Amino acid sequence: MLKFRLWGTVLWLGLALIVWGQWPLRATAATDPATEVKAAYVVDANSGQAIYADHADKKLPIASLSKLMTLYLVTQAVRKGQVKWTDNVPISADVRKLAASPTLSTMPMAKDEKFTVKELFAATLVGSSNSSAIALGELIGGSNAKFIQLMNQQAARWQLAAHFVSASGLDNTDLIRYHYNLPGTSNQAQNLVSARAITTVARQLIKDYPAVIDIANHGSIKIHRYRVATLVQILKGQKHYDAAVPVDGLKTGYTAQAGACLVATFKQGGRRLIATTLGGTWKYTANAKLRLQTQQQERYHNVAPATMKYRLPGTQTTLKLVAKSSVKRWENVQQPFRQTQTAAVPVQRQQVNYLAANTTVMRLRLTDPNSGTVTTVAYVSPKAQMIPGPMQQVAKATATKHQLNLPLAFAN
């Protein structure tokens, strides 16, 4: 279980006093249980830069966060013309039975009542409707089993650490009662997906269908005579909203096996970020802490100097190099990037080296200690230069020394 280190600043979060910590989110002895998570990941939705990662590639139960993959595949089917937003979705007797469950349903589906793709999409996202997600999957895939195959195929295309057995995120202990357990899977089977993987799904969903944020950012939606309330209780106007770390989406998830899971979308410095926490003990606290630390410690700026002085390996020559391009990244002000310089051109030892203008001379490797993200910046010679090799420099220095030691002859 990952925990947050203490740094002694006490802040008010929601209705509780919580002691906040420093990066990284790893186990320590004295920690508030509310901030415990099994995995965490933060990414820039625009660039894809990983800002923070801890156990981000470990496959874990993610409960209803699974619906993000279901919704992504729906948007792709609409984009390809396979279905329309206004199409009515066939609802099986088993799905209607699931929709009547007092514990597994957030929206009833009365007998013969019809719902469009758009309506069930909204019910799945806002209210986390399990029956809506399964019905959409059957429409897109032709059957529940075929749709789950599509989910896994998409995960494989993105090379994600993910395995799906359910379109809704319910595990087989619940699905078996409605005949939606995937054939060949155990009675306890559940979706196992990494924090990085489900964040990637969320990022692709937002990228391909930006309206998903507008839909998610509602306290409730009205579908027919039903008022479907959001399960993301940290949106503005909801009881756990925190103005210090506001969000505008996206999806929660919870089962006894998965714990509290959350994919939160928010903006910082005009850029959209996504913060994911899996396996929390409390619904929102750990993710709020993660967002607060991102807000306080991460800065988006040029991470590579415009110019650098660089001494060619094995020589006495120091060059003033110019960055080939400016590189903007998120960088932690308390744990900045580690810098490593690597020579990009071989140096001839016994002859003059010619560097043409704009020749890449050195590569600067920047490693983020919090996420493992690596950025490489090329540095070039701004003008053509002639540089003696190391042996030539030694010979020249030796000759100069000999000249200085020559005896002087004076005429009598």
Known catalytic residues are 64, 67, 128
First and final C-alpha spacing in the chain: 93
Nearest CA to 343 among 387, 373, 293? 387
Burial class (CB in 10 A: 0-12, 13-18, 19+), 20: buried
Question: Which DSSP letter does residue 35 get?
Answer: G
Distance CA 407, CA 50 (A): 68
Which residues, listed in sequence order, are joined to residue 280 by a DSSP beta bridge? 260
- For 114, half-sphere exposure in the C-beta direction (CA atoms, 13 angstrom radius) is 5
User: Which residue matches tokens 């269908």?
Assistant: 209
Distance CA 157, CA 376 (A): 26
Contact 50, 43 (CB under 8 A): yes
Contact 289, 365 (CB under 8 A): no
Contact 294, 271 (CB under 8 A): no
Distance CA 240, CA 262 (A): 14
Nearest CA to 137 among 116, 167, 114? 167
Q: Mind giving me the DSSP string for 221-257? A: EEETTEEEE-S-TTBTTSTT--TTS-B-EEEEEEETT
Give just the sign of the alpha carbon dihedral 214, 215, 219, 222.
Answer: positive
Distance CA 40, CA 272 (A): 17
Radius of gyration of the chain (CA): 29
